[in-house]
Structure 1
Amino acid sequence: MVSEERIRGEESKVAALESSGRMSGAPVGARQRRRKEAVELCLRLMCMASSIVAVSLMVTAKQATNVSIYGFSFPINSKWSFSQSYEYLVGVSAAVAAHSLLQLLIGTSRFVRNSSIIPSRNYAWLIFAGDQAFAYALMSAGSAASGVTNLNRTGIRHTALPNFCKPLHKFCDHVAISIAFTFTSCFLLAISAVQDVIWLTQHSS
């Protein structure tokens, strides 16, 4: 009798442990999913903020001063809209900010309702394609703007064109920081694209 009671007690303990594992398994998986989705929403928020800062700094980049060439003083006025590369950066960064805001609003709405922020594979592919396209566009815009800024900073060898960033240091500083935030947005979008790939891999069936 003692052995039978002991066996039944052990069996009941095992059953209780298995039941506890099944009961706690779902919440643990749900918490992990919610944590990953929260990270994705944070990436969207940071990307949007970074893009807004890039646009704000670029559109406020302007300065007027005098520059000396061969002993003669000439007034110069520099503004971001004088360069097509800077205009391109502003346009792309503004589009990325709008894209990130839209995804943030949609994702937050679904997150609050305790639904998956990526409802289907088609939606995941769409977001992945958008993240990739905007990341490449940001890289292109940042590289083009960097080339113009580097030319302003170093001047042109064997010509009378000086280093314009010495007299226009405020303008160049605004532009340089704007470009840095542009590349930051590109990096954040690249991370989001990786997250999209991970989701697609885990939901391949």
Structure 2
Amino acid sequence: MFNGQKLTQPEVALQLPETKMAADGQGVTMNGSLEAAGAPGLKGAGWKADVMHAILRAMCTAASLTAFSFMVTAEQHSVLVIYGFQFPVHSKWSFSNSFEYLAGVSGAVAVHSFLQLLICVSRLLGKSSAIPSRNHAWLVFAGDQVLAYALTSAGSAASGVTNLNRTGIRHTALPNFCKPLHSFCDHVTVSIAFTFFSCILLATSVVLDVIWLAKC
């Protein structure tokens, strides 16, 4: 019995560490498998968000470029008839401060969105996050928000001038200038429409920036 006890005790003493080590090893394996199982899901979710970010940047670049292009090509020569008298008229986007403001803001948004698109695509090709750091996210968030407000104000100002051209000035003899200058007014209208569309895309990007910052 005594010899048996002496033999049994070392076995227990030897097996307890092995059991513990096995349990620890199992825990490490379980943790590793959980991380391995969770990593693709997190990576997939992050990849989808980055792809959405890139798509928004591409759409915003295209929309703002369209707004800029239609505005800077808005020019027309025509003849205006008032009480039977014909007057040559020449309309150009640079004659209006509101139109110049819209062209400037649209151009700035196009450059901003294109640069962000390049950064996003390059990091996606390198299998990295589209937003490299929290500081970068804050800078992008601030830029998106400021430019979105600028687009809203530019589109609103240009809309007022365009509406005035289409309806004339009340209680005066001034006619609807968009009748003889229909091509000019159509260019401006398309530019304003894409300006507001770019604003919506930037606002969506701002929401994505906020979500990314909240998860950090």
- TM-score using structure 2 length: 0.84
Counterpart amino acid of 1:37? D
1:142-178 deviation line (CA, Å, top 9, x unaligned): 0110010000000011111100111111110110000
Among 75, 88, 94, which residue is 1:75 paired with?
A: 88
Structure 1's unaligned 5+ residue stretches are: 1-14
Counterpart amino acid of 1:92? V
User: 1:54 touches 1:178 (CA, 8 Å); kept in 2?
Assistant: yes
Counterpart CA distance in 2 for 1:79 and 1:20 is 66
In the alignment, structure 1 residue 28 sits paired with structure 2 residue 41: yes
Q: Which runs of 4+ in 1 moved over 6 A?
A: 15-19
Q: Compute the RMSD of aligned alpha carbons.
A: 1.6
Among 122, 126, 132, which residue is 1:109 paired with?
A: 122
Q: Which residue of 2 aligns with 1:130?
A: 143
Counterpart CA distance in 2 for 1:128 and 1:19 is 35
User: 1:70 touches 1:160 (CA, 8 Å); kept in 2?
Assistant: no
Counterpart CA distance in 2 for 1:134 and 1:42 is 18
Q: Which residue of 2 aligns with 1:185?
A: 198
1:163-204 deviation line (CA, Å, top 9, x unaligned): 01111111101100000000011110000000000001111x
1:70-119 deviation line (CA, Å, top 9, x unaligned): 22111101111111110111100000000001111111111111111112
Among 56, 78, 93, which residue is 1:65 paired with?
A: 78
- TM-score using structure 1 length: 0.88
Aligned-pair identity in percent equals 63
Counterpart CA distance in 1 for 2:36 and 2:120 is 28
Q: Give the alignment of 1:1-205 within 5 angstroms.
A: 22-203=35-216
Q: Provide the aligned length of Structure 1 versus Structure 2.
A: 189
